[in-house]
Amino acid sequence: MDDLGWLRTAVELGRRCPPSATAFSVGAVIVADDQIIAEGFSRQTDPADHAEEVALRHAAGWFAAQREQSTPAAVTIYSSLEPCGQRASRPHTCTDLILQAGLRRVVFALAEPETFVQPRGAALLRAAGVEVVHLPQLADEVADTNAHLR
């Protein structure tokens, strides 16, 4: 599958989020070697969960196994919304968690609106040397999923 196909999977996951007046509905999927490693969506297990955070938590065992190998797989995280670079509900942003996991590629559909914080996740990731790809072809679908915030 190509980037747009995997991103569509993340967008579909975002539709599973329970609505919140104080948070976006986001889906995320982690892919390596054209296989899903983990996925998640906002508020999946806790009201403060972000999608990338859930997916990374679900992938923790896979990442631990990869660290033991001499040639780690190329990994991409696909998120329906730009990963957060500022956060009030938890000590670590999704950007922090992506960097801690060692991911070197991020693909997202909708740039984070200025609804809650100043968007800066993509800029922080790029500054850290991560390849960041913005594919706005699905941005309208993500915005529709978050119509509850309008």
Give the whole-angstrom CA distance, residue 113 versus residue 130.
21
What is the chain's Cα-based Rg? Answer: 14
Query: CA 87, 89, 92, 98 torsion: positive or negative?
Result: negative
Nearest to 101 by CA among 32, 7, 24, 25: 32
For the annotated catalytic residues, the residue numbers are: 52
102, 69 in Cβ contact below 8 A?
no
Retrieve residue 141's tokens: 């679908």
Give the whole-angstrom CA distance, residue 87 versus residue 90.
6
